[in-house]
Amino acid sequence: MNRPGEEIRTSPRPSKTLRKKLALYSGLGRQVEEWLSVLILLILGRVLYVNFFTRDVAMGSIARGVEAVDPSIRIVTVSGYGLSVVLAILHRDRILRCLRQNLDFLLMVGWLYVSLLWSSVPSMTLVRFAGLTGTTLFGLYLGTRYSLDEMAKLAGRFVWIAMLLSLMMALLLPGMGRYIEPRGEVWSGAFVHKNSLGMIVALGFLFWLYAPTAFSRVERFLYAIGGGALLWFSYSRAAQAVTVLLFLLAPYLPRLVASRGWKKVGLLLSGVVVFGGLGIWTWKHLPQILQLMGRDPSLTGRTLIWFLVWKSIQKRFWTGYGFEAFWSGEGAALLDVWRHFPGVWIPTHSHNGLLELWLSGGAIAVGLFVLHWLRTGWLSLSVRSAWVLALWVFLTLYTFAERTIFNVAGTSTVIWVLYVAVSVRLRVASLNEAVPRLRQQ
C-alpha cells in the first residue's frame, strides 16, 4: 500500500512502435525456425547431397542402394542430428511433458536402447543410437511445436523442394539424376535410388490430396505435372501403387474423419468390407497383377529375403540381435543370408519394416510398436485433418515393402519422423480433451 502523497510506480508500457518491432522479430524468428525444420527434413531425407558426395553411387555403380562410407555424408547427417538436438533442448519443457503423456511411446523407443545389452555387434548399435536419438527428438519437437496444419505446411515445403530438385537433376544432370538398371533407364532425381524418389513423390501426393493448405494453387498445379512425371519415369511400382490407392481413398477418408457417432461407425465398417474385399481379390490375382506391372512374383527378390530373415529371427525370436546390429556385416546369421546372393548385389536390410524391427528388438519390440500403431490409427479417426489418417495408411502400406519404421539412415526417415510427430500430438490432444470431460462429471 502506498503512503499518502507517494506516487504510484508502474512499469512503463512498451510504445506502439516497439510492440510492432517485437512482433516483427518474433515473426521472423518463427519463419527461420520453420525453414530450419524444412532443412532438417531435407537432410534426414537425404535429398541431393548423397548424389554429389558419392559419385560412384550416383553414377550407378554396383554400390547403388548401399550406404556409402563417406566422411562428407556423415558430416551432413550428423549436422542434421545436431540441429535436431538443439531444437529439442530449446523446447525441452514441452518435450518432457509430452513424454510423460506418451509412456507407451517412451517404452517402445526405450526397449531399443536396452537392446544394447544383448546386441550381437554393440559398436554398431552404439553408432546407430545417434540416429535414433536425433530422429526421435526431431519428431518430438515437431509434434510439440507445431499444430497439425502447420506440420502439413512444413511437409508440403519439403516435398515441393524435393520434387523440384529431382526434376532439375533428372533433366539437367542425367548422369546423376538417372541410372541404368536391368529393366532400362530409370529416374532417381535428387535421391540415390528410384524407390526413394518414388516414396517421397507419393508422400507429396498424399499432402496434395488430403492437405490442400500445404500447397498454393500454383504449387498444386506444378506438383501434379512434375510429381506425375517423376513418379512415371522412376518406375517405382510400389510408389505408383500407393499413389493410386491414395487417389481411390480420397473420396472416403475425409468423409470418414468428418463424420460423427454411428455414421462414423457405419462408414468405418463399410470401408473395412470394401477395401478388405479388394485386398483379398488383389491377393488372389497377385501373379497376374505383378505380371501386368512388369514385376516378377518374387517382388524383385523380396520374398527370398523375407524367408531368409524369418529363419534368422527364429534364432533370437524374443529379443532380436540388437538395434541395427544384424546387417553390420558380422555374424553367422547374416552370412547365411548373404550366401544365397552370390552376385554383385547383396541385401542390406529386410525390405520390410516389421521384420527389420524384429531383427533389432525381437517380438517384444514388434508388439510394443503394433500397440502404438493401433492406438495412433484409432486417434487419427478423431481429428478432422484427413492427412493424418492418410499418413497412417501410407506408413502401413510401405511397411510391407520398405523399412519405414525406426529407419534412422534413409529417405523413409522423413516418414518415420512425421509419424512420431503426429502420434505424440494426437495422444496429448486426446488427454487434454479428456481432462475437462472428467471434471464435468
Residue 211 host element (H or E): none
Q: Strand, coil or helix: what is 220?
A: helix
List Cα–Cα distances, 18 to 23, 192, 331, 402, in angstroms: 9, 49, 65, 53
Q: Residue by residue, what is the 3-state secondary structure of 53-104?
A: HCHHHHCCCCCCCCCCCCHHHHHHHHHHHHHHHHHHHHCHHHHHHHHHCCHH
Q: Which residue has the cell 519443457?
A: 93
pLDDT in tens, 93-130: 999 999 999 999 999 999 999 999 999 889 889 989 99
Q: What nine digits make up the cell of 93?
A: 519443457
Q: Is-contact 173 219, C-beta < 8 A?
A: no
pLDDT, the chain, mean: 84
Q: How would DSSP label each residue in 173-206?
A: -HHHHEEEETTEEEE-TTSSSHHHHHHHHHHHHH
Predicted structure pTM score: 0.87
pLDDT number for residue 16 = 58
Mean pLDDT, rounded, for 313-328: 92
Q: Is-contact 354 309, C-beta < 8 A?
A: no
pLDDT number for residue 292 = 75
Examine the pLDDT at 205 and tell me if it is beyond 60.
Answer: yes
Burial of 65 (0-12, 13-18, 19+ CB in 10 A): middle
Q: How would DSSP label each residue in 28-60?
A: HHHHHHHHHHHHHHHHHTT-SHHHHH-HHHHTT
AA letter at 139: G
β-pairing verdict for 184-187 and 178-181: antiparallel
pLDDT in tens, 233-276: 999 988 999 999 999 999 999 999 999 888 888 988 888 888 88
Sign of CA dihedral 178, 44, 372, 303: positive
Burial of 337 (0-12, 13-18, 19+ CB in 10 A): buried
pLDDT number for residue 12 = 55
pLDDT number for residue 206 = 97
pLDDT in tens, 138-177: 999 999 999 999 999 999 999 999 999 999 999 998 888 8
Longest Cα–Cα distance in the chain: 97
Examine the pLDDT at 65 and tell me if it is beyond 60.
Answer: no
Domain ranges of the chain: 30-155+251-428
Sign of CA dihedral 95, 101, 103, 109: negative
